[in-house]
A and B are shown apart, each in its own frame.
Chain A
């Protein structure tokens, strides 16, 4: 690949005794949607905040649009747009006033009027920020990230805390930006979001990148197997389950058994026979093609969500 627009090498950041980021490296190409996927507290936000020039790293090198966020922070801020976590606007600021105010801070800018239209906020133009719904606030946050027509966009947990329907709306917006060839770095702890939106994903855990690639690459990592999750009325031994036909891997997870199988139909028939023979019963059964969640479980032995 060509010339990365963003590069991170061996990034380290601690807060007191807590090592939030422990040697993160990756690079992002122009026009790419890059996801940092990991549980809360994995170090995603700290990494993004260093890239935005909001925090200084303890060590490591960072370059965004050819600039060093530490030394060229003001120049960099003209080139990036961000929707941060836990930010807010003054309660009594109106939607249009906010867009106009922020557009005024930049050398390059887009028409606030167009952004209002594109993000479906036209009717809310004179509404106070405090009177917007959660989804509207988030749409405004994304619109505001675009006021300077940035080269790189940072979305930190863009859909956290939103209900599924609003989350869909946000996905549509990000997909549209993707079609416009915007470079986007986003963090998320939602698997679907990363699979659905990102060209490449770095799975982050305990301040380290533990896997990196396209969602497809990462999934084929788990061997092109199908995931079968079963709950049984009585415990079964892992050993017995792994001898079932087609099964490559068995794990016990929160009281359920997760089998990875190369021949799912045969595995299920074999499983039912095995259970009958052992006076055990099937309580529930779920079949899914492998997801990034499986990759995460495989790498860490834990589920991504709490």
Chain B
């Protein structure tokens, strides 16, 4: 436990000293935030609150990039090797990076709330406890997913390619960039198989409809279960040494991370609660506020 805390402190210090961090944790999330709040929502409080969900989801999911890149770099440079001759364990190493990342994401999340309140005059933030739980499981689960990718790829290039392949569908087909209800039906069917969809929809429901954690059990529970699974796999697949290459079998094992949302997706596909909830929030947004000049360009 003590090791874990000192490692976490080190990771926080190092991340703050890193310029890449400034980009991924500050510049990128805020760029999206202002794009959503200022352009999509036209600064209108009700719409800003609607777009806060996707903005937070993107901030949270950014953990995926940062952690995988850092771990691969540490392994390639022989930094992990140095830690390997100490009594540190793989779970100390991985858990500290996940927690450090969580601590660093929180200020960005809080800043986004403050901007909503003071720049865009949003007064209703829905159920903040639900929001907090979703941010927590979201950050930790996407961070762990990044660690899994880092553990099965051998070079930085390979990591970046796999990251892109996972990242693009996650952000474009989950409602994190374009509202889910705005997407074609076929894309909506696909979306229910992505963990990001549950994060985005959960956050929106918590903020817009003040949904309680109890009513977001599916979203919070599935992400929490996914966190445990991905973190467990990341520890199993962890490699200290750059020369030790991943087995093919390990790469196949990674497919296991898709299973929970594959099963949940099949169920969701039949009952359709996520898509219908996304649709009703979207309709509510464009409905009462639909009036010529105020109309959102996205919401025809």
Assess the A54–B85 pair: CB atoms within 8 A. Answer: yes
Q: How far is the CA of A266 from the CA of B282 in the complex (A)?
A: 104
B87 at the interface (CB under 8 A from A): yes
Assess the B78–A88 pair: CB atoms within 8 A. Answer: yes
B276 at the interface (CB under 8 A from A): no
Assess the A92–B17 pair: CB atoms within 8 A. Answer: yes
B251 at the interface (CB under 8 A from A): no
Q: Is the interface of A mostly helix, strand, loop or mixed?
A: loop
A92: which B residues are within 8 A, CB to CB? Answer: 13-14, 17-18
For B3, give its contact among A52, A54, A105, A144 (CB under 8 Å).
A105
A74: which B residues are within 8 A, CB to CB? Answer: 87, 89
Assess the A105–B79 pair: CB atoms within 8 A. Answer: no
Q: How far is the CA of A77 from the CA of B2 in the complex (A)?
A: 17
A80: which B residues are within 8 A, CB to CB? Answer: 85
1/0 per position for B79-101, CB-CB distance to A under 8 A? 10110111111000000000000
Assess the A90–B79 pair: CB atoms within 8 A. Answer: yes
List residues 84-118 of chain A with CB under 8 A from any CB of chain B.
84, 86-90, 92-93, 97, 101-102, 104-106
A positions within 8 Å CB-CB of B:
52, 54, 74, 77-78, 80, 82, 84, 86-90, 92-93, 97, 101-102, 104-106, 144
A90: which B residues are within 8 A, CB to CB? Answer: 10, 14, 74, 79
B86: which A residues are within 8 A, CB to CB? Answer: 77, 102, 105-106
Q: How far is the CA of A101 from the CA of B14 in the complex (A)?
A: 13
Assess the A54–B241 pair: CB atoms within 8 A. Answer: yes
Assess the A97–B13 pair: CB atoms within 8 A. Answer: yes
Assess the B87–A77 pair: CB atoms within 8 A. Answer: yes
For A84, give its contact among B3, B82, B87 (CB under 8 Å).
B82
For A87, give its contact among B6, B18, B78, B87 (CB under 8 Å).
B78
Q: Given contacts A101-B6, A105-B86, are A86 and B13 in contact (CB under 8 A)?
A: no
15 A–B contacts from the bound complex (CB under 8 Å): A54-B85, A74-B87, A80-B85, A87-B79, A88-B78, A88-B79, A93-B10, A93-B14, A101-B6, A101-B7, A101-B10, A102-B86, A105-B6, A106-B87, A144-B82
Total interface residues in chain B, CB < 8 Å: 23
For B85, give its contact among A82, A88, A93, A101 (CB under 8 Å).
A82
User: 14 extra interchain contacts, Cβ-Cβ under 8 A, other than A78-B87, A88-B77?
Assistant: A77-B87, A80-B85, A82-B85, A84-B78, A84-B82, A88-B78, A89-B82, A90-B10, A90-B79, A92-B13, A93-B13, A97-B10, A102-B86, A104-B6
What is the minimal beta-carbon distance from B101 to any residue of chain A, in angstroms? 15
Closest to A52 in B: B85
What is the minimal beta-carbon distance from A303 to any residue of chain B, in angstroms? 28
Assess the A104–B78 pair: CB atoms within 8 A. Answer: no
A106: which B residues are within 8 A, CB to CB? Answer: 86-87
Q: How far is the CA of A144 from the CA of B84 in the complex (A)?
A: 13
What is the minimal beta-carbon distance from A213 to any residue of chain B, in angstroms? 29
Q: Given contacts A86-B78, A88-B77, A88-B79, are A77 and B10 in contact (CB under 8 A)?
A: no
What is the minimal beta-carbon distance from A203 to any residue of chain B, in angstroms? 25
Assess the A86–B14 pair: CB atoms within 8 A. Answer: no
1/0 per position for B211-244, CB-CB distance to A under 8 A? 0000000000000000000000000000011000
Q: How far is the CA of A86 from the CA of B84 in the complex (A)?
A: 13
What is the minimal beta-carbon distance from B9 to any residue of chain A, in angstroms? 8
Assess the A87–B17 pair: CB atoms within 8 A. Answer: no
What is the minimal beta-carbon distance from A154 to any residue of chain B, in angstroms? 8
B84: which A residues are within 8 A, CB to CB? Answer: 54
Q: Which of B3, B77, B84 has the most CB of A within 10 A?
A: B84
For B81, give its contact among A84, A102, A104, A105 (CB under 8 Å).
A84
For the complex of A and B, 4 pairs with smallest distance between CB atoms: A92-B17, A87-B82, A87-B78, A82-B85
